[in-house]
Amino acid sequence: MAIEKKWMKIVYLTLMVLVAAGFTLPGIMYFGGGSSDSNTVTVGNDRICSTDIECYLTCEGELKASLCYQNLCEINNCNEESNYDSEGFTFNLNIEISGEHIDLSERSSEYNIFAEFSEISNTGNEVNIHTDFLSMNQILEKVGMGLSSQCITIDGTTYCRSDSYDLTFTVNGEESYSYGNVVPEEGDVIKITFT
């Protein structure tokens, strides 16, 4: 009986140590294993991000902006060129779902510096882009959306074209079939409608 109690204590203490280690070691590895000058998580050579501001690099004392797209920083070292343009250009983007205008300025984050959104009126949004190379899907990702030839996705809810519903995409009044691959230009008026 005494030997049985002794083994129970040993098993109990061993389990307690394993539980404590199981909760402690991942924290030590996550918070204590990186370099002191970066809070960005890396996987291989890629840096994981959720906004553009998490992708900044400090190169020879200067900040270098990098786009965050599909949760990865596009630039991961100082030898790569940044496409950031502080001036940028603007275009108009109007998205309507079942007759309701979507205000993109309410959905955007101040931490995404490559695409800035402001509402013009109840009919559209002005988008200021700080590079010449962003596609519509890269821009829409900044506000939790995605676009294909058949569907528009907003916060995980997908609205797809069918016999009852139509999805149209126009650039400067003309229907385009490039959808999410379109790269907007200065002064474009883009309209996405799901009815």
Distance CA 52, CA 112 (A): 5
Whether residue 147 is predicted with pLDDT greater than 60 in this model: the reply is yes
**Percent of the chain at pLDDT exceeding 90:** 59
Whether residue 191 is predicted with pLDDT greater than 90 in this model: the reply is yes
Per-residue buried b or exposed e for 152-187, using 16+ beta carbons within 10 Å of the residue's own CB: bebeeeebeeeeeeebebebeeeeeeebbebebeee
Give the model's confidence band at 123: pLDDT under 50 very low, under 70 low, under 90 confident, else very high.
Answer: low
pTM: 0.72
Once rounded to an integer, what is the mean pLDDT over residues 162-167?
95
